[in-house]
Amino acid sequence: MVYRLPPLNALRAFEAAARHLSFKNAALELSVTPTAVSHQIKLLEDFLELPLFDRLTRALALTPQGEAMLPKVREGLACFAAAVESAHAHVDQGRLIVVLPPSFATRWLVPRLRRFALQEPSLSLHVIRSLGTVDGNQAAGIAAPEPVDLRQEDSLVAIRFGSGVYPGYHVDRMFGSDYIAVCSPRLLEADPPLRVPADMRHQVLLHDDASAGDRIGPGWDEWFRLAGVTGVDTKAGPHFGDSGMAYVAALDGLGVALASKPLVATAMTQGRLVAPFDLAVGQNHAYYLVIQESIFNRPAVQAFRQWLLEEARTEEPRLLD
């Protein structure tokens, strides 16, 4: 759309002169001469082909046309100012870069991000999955293990799975990560059925072999020991080098997987996975938000931190059920 508009300086001069009812005072505000203000007003009146002021002997008054025009000009100038301020704020804020474990990103964070986007629509969020955010991984670093093109105004935070001991960083514990047996609901009444822990002898065990990477968790030998079930080859069954593949195999009904409870909570709520038994293998590691002290008070960082910890608080009671 093409707008036929007068010069912006003329509109600014009109608004100031109308507010002060004085060319002299408007000139002082705009750091120009009264003659310059008078000239801008004359340009605007010529553009509109309407008089905006009555020039009296010792006073200045708005004409009816000027009175009608003033509120919209004032509103328009305020919108211009807000647009410029918003652009500056966006540049100054930069990007918020979140580095986190792949399985946590896919199964916990991403399904919840719509709520954060609605809360912070102007924030530029970049999510990077990295195995280096897990304690014990050879590539692990506190923040970003691989090169990230950071600008000065960018803010990088990490969600780590580990001990929580990261000297020199601000650390918030989100929640722990006990492991439970999960499967498709179809397996509960299959042949053979899955009703008591001893029935696991007849089930296909799914193995997540990403223990040196995406997760460091217990194996099936710990689970069967806790369940008191013996005589099971705990190494039998398909082995997957990525926890995401083991997760999909469980959803598809291939067998039973041993999974981190917070990472399957959503699928269980939706009824896509079930936990046949009230058994959980404890885990020393937990999920932590890790932030460099130098950027801790940045608005983007604080907005994400407050939202993330609130999400974790609402999740914790369900994880403890």
Q: How many CB atoms lie within 10 A of CB 245?
A: 16
Q: What is the pLDDT of residue 87?
A: 57
**C-alpha gyration radius of the chain:** 32
Q: Give me the residues paired with residue 100 across strands.
A: 129
The predicted-structure confidence for 84-127, as pLDDT tens digits, reads as follows: 666 555 444 578 999 998 889 988 999 899 999 999 998 999 99
The confidence score (pLDDT) of residue 53 equals: 92
Q: What residue ranges define each of the domains in the chain, with the CATH number in brackets?
A: 8-92 (1.10.10.10), 94-177+285-320 (3.40.190.10), 179-269 (3.40.190.10)
288, two tokens: 């932590």
Phi and psi angles of residue 10, each rounded to the nearest 5 degrees, phi first = -70, -40
Residue 14 pLDDT more than 50?
yes
Going by the DSSP 8-state scheme, the letter that residue 134 receives in this structure is B
**How do 53-55 and 60-62 pair as beta strands?**
antiparallel
Nearest to 287 by CA among 167, 159, 143: 159
**How far apart are the C-alpha atoms of 124 and 90, rounded to whole Å?**
8
d(CA 261, CA 264): 5
Lookup: tokens for 178:
């006990």
Query: Is a pLDDT exceeding 60 seen at residue 204?
Result: yes
Position 191 scores a pLDDT of 85
Measured on CA atoms in the order 269, 272, 278, 280, is the torsion positive or negative?
negative
For residue 3, CA distances in Å to 6, 45, 49, 52 come to 10, 18, 17, 21
Helix (H, G, I), strand (E, B) or coil at 54: strand
| 194, 198, 259, 271, 285 from 204: Cα distances, Å | 11, 13, 15, 21, 27
Reference 161, options 108, 223, 125; nearest CA is: 108
Quick one: pLDDT at residue 208?
86
Dihedral of CA 41/42/47/48: which sign?
positive
Residues 6+ apart with CB under 8 A from 233: none
Instruction: Give the ranges where the chain is alpha helix by DSSP (H).
Output: 8-20, 23-30, 34-48, 64-93, 102-104, 113-119, 220-227, 243-251, 261-269, 299-320
Q: Show the tokens assigned to 31.
A: 């750091």
Q: How confident is the model at residue 137 (pLDDT cuts 50, 70, 90)?
A: low
Q: 3-class DSSP state for residue 98?
A: strand
Q: Which of 48-62, 64-78, 285-299, 305-319 has the highest mean pLDDT?
A: 285-299
261 and 182 Cβ atoms separated by less than 8 Å = no
pLDDT band (50, 70, 90) for residue 252? very high
State what percent of residues in the chain have pLDDT above 90. Answer: 49
**Reported confidence tier of residue 290, pLDDT bands at 50, 70, 90:** very high
Average pLDDT over the chain reads 85
Evaluate whether 197 touches 228 at the Cβ level (below 8 Å).
Answer: yes
Cα–Cα dist 215/104, whole Å: 10
Burial 259-284 (b: 16+ CB within 10 A, else e): bbbbbbbbbbeeeebbbbbebbbebe
